[in-house]
Structure formats: C-alpha cells, structure tokens
Amino acid sequence: MPASTLRIEEPDGGDPLPGIIGTSPAMGEVYRVTRQVARSSASVLLLGETGTGKELIAQAIHEQSGRNGRSFVRVNCGALSESLLESELFGHVRGAFTGAIENRTGRFEAAHNGTIFLDEINSTTLHLQVKLLRVLQEQEFERVGDTKTVKVDTRVIAASNRDLLDLAAEGQFREDLFYRLNVVPIYLPPLRERTGDIPALVTHFLNFYNEKNDRYVAHIEARALEALRAYVWPGNVRELQNYVERAVVMAPGDELTFDLLPSAVRTGKQPRSVGPRVMNFDELTEELVQQGLSGADEKSEDLHGRVVDRVEREVISQVMSMCEGVQIKAAARLGINRNTLHKKLKQYGLDGDG
C-alpha cells in the first residue's frame, strides 16, 4: 500500500448510541444528556445547524425511553403550509374544509403513548404555536372542524436550527412555548467542532454506499482525509455523507482520492450560491447615491434603511427564484415562517406561488 494512503479501519468498540457515529468530547456530552433525559417524560429541545443529526438524537431518545416499541412520529413543520400542518398535526373531520372528504387522524393521535418529533418548529405560525402550547400543557386538542376534545399521552421532542429566543424577541415565536419546550435542551455541535469524528464517519458512509452500490472503496488517500478535516462543513454531516456517496460512485478503483472530492473541499472554499449575485452593503449604498436617492438633506439613517430594504429584497428575490416561487421552501431556506415571508413579498412587490 502506498505511503500516502490510509487504510480505513472499523472504529474500536460499538457506537456510543445506536446508529450515531462519533466519539468526540462534544458528542460525548450529547450522549450523556440523551441517555439521562430518555428515562424521563420531559420535553426536549434539540438545537443545532441543519445536517447535525437532530432526528437521529430524537430517535435515540425514543428508543432509550419507556415508550420504545410505541410509535415514533416525525413531522417536518417547515415543509407544510399553516393549514396543512394544522390538519397534519391534529387531524380533521369531514367537511372541515374543501377537500376534507373524510375524517382523518392527526400525528399527535398517531403518537399516543409514543413520541412525536417536531422538526423545524421555528417555522410554525403563532396560531399553531397556541395549539401546540395547549397540547404540551393539557395534553388535549380538537381536530380541525370539530368541537370534541381529544386526550393524548404523547412525548414531544422539538428541533430548531434557529435561536427561538431571538425569534421570540422578533415576535415570531411565543416565549411561553419556548420555555415549555426547553425543559431539557440538547445542543448538536456542527461538524467543524468535531473534526476528530470525520474518519469514523467516512468509514461508516463508505461501508454503507459500498454495499448499496456494490463497490469496494476501502482506502482513503491521506491528502483527501486531510482536506476533509480542514473543510468548514456548512452542510455538516449530511454534506459529508453526500460527498462520500459521490466518491464511491465515481471512484475508478478501491481508493477515495483527493481528486474525487468536490472543488469546495479541495480548495477549502465554500461553494458559491447558485443564482444571481446579490450586491453587498457598500455596493448598494453607492448605487443608491448614484441614482440620486440620497439627497444632500437626506439623513444617513434614511439611506441606511433604504439599503437594508434593498438587500433584503434582493435576497428574498434570489431565494424565491431558487425555490421556483414556492413560498414554503423559500421560507424554510430563509429561516423565517411563511407568514413573515408573505408579508415581505407583499412589502417588496414580489410574486410567489405559495
């Protein structure tokens, strides 16, 4: 074997939690809290960037708890509009709205005696947050279009990739709901804070995609591993997983080499966003001045406000274009709820299909 090549070996011992890879100190704390909170019925709030494995931890909490064997129900709150999400969570009765041709059981009922995982809870509207707060406090709700109260015994695990207290300060998230969810918070570290886990993660993904694609990429070039360790990983573990899958599919032999990695990893630079370039603050200020929008008697704060609005409009316009006008997707990418996006679209005269 060449001196510049490393053999990927299986990590010593079992995984700290089933299905979760990593032995870094940061993950050790996650495992400790996960095991401790799993034995209780307390609500858990998982915090961390996109791609850090929040759903895996939610699943582990359920499986380590006394509710193991009961339903574990996942709901991505950022993937549905307000009306659809309300029906999805709480169910509806026939005739509750157009298209409601029969009664439907919601996810909370489906998770009775089990666990419900509410991912991207930061994207819910204030209206839905009131209903969620009631379920957490009283463990009861009504289906959409019904007056009959439904009682449930469901453990709630929520996840957010944004600071909920910041959203509360902006009037986008109920502070009382935050404190109800935040009984036991668990912070999932980004991959850049646990680079020591990268070799084990690469091993895991190599094995998985080798089997899936009937390949045998068993080695990794030292230079490639060094580049993976040095990269900042804006997409976290999910991004690493995608790159390993690509390498397994494209490798001509049994080695993951440096040239199989995407240019962002090879150069250490994050990939540029797809779509039109958004001018920075200084460029926009200069443009506004050139257009005569900042007259001699205009206050500097007025100019600042114009530039901020222009930057926001440009960013929203770009993201809406990338999401093909679908407001739900655009709101999730922007990290705001759909109602806020709708108001911004109206404010800036932008069109969206919703």
Residue where the block lists tokens 């962002």:
264
Cα–Cα nearest to 114, from 57, 56, 157 = 157
Helix (H, G, I), strand (E, B) or coil at 158: strand
Contact criterion met (CB below 8 Å) for 127 and 338: no
Contact criterion met (CB below 8 Å) for 225 and 258: no
The residue type found at 67 is R
Up-side HSE of residue 43: CA atoms within 13 Å toward CB? 20
Query: Domains in the chain, ordered, with CATH?
Result: 5-9+200-267 (1.10.8.60), 42-189 (3.40.50.300), 281-348 (1.10.10.60)
Residue where the block lists tokens 């990939």:
271
Q: Whole-angstrom Cα distance, residue 121 to residue 127? A: 13
Full pLDDT tens readout for the chain, 354 residues: 444 554 444 333 334 788 899 999 889 999 999 999 999 999 999 999 999 999 999 999 999 999 999 999 999 998 888 888 988 899 877 655 666 667 788 899 999 999 999 999 999 999 999 999 999 999 998 888 778 899 999 999 999 999 999 899 989 999 999 999 999 999 999 999 999 999 999 999 999 999 999 999 999 999 999 999 999 999 999 999 999 999 999 999 999 999 999 999 999 876 554 444 444 445 555 555 555 444 444 555 566 667 677 777 878 887 777 766 777 767 767 767 777 888 888 888 886 444
Starting from the edge strand earliest in sequence, which strands make up the sheet with 255-256, in order? 5-7, 219-221, 255-256
Q: Tell me the two tokens of residue 189.
A: 């570290």
- DSSP code per residue over 7-58: E--PPSS--SBTTB---SHHHHHHHHHHHHHHTS---EEEE--TTS-HHHHH
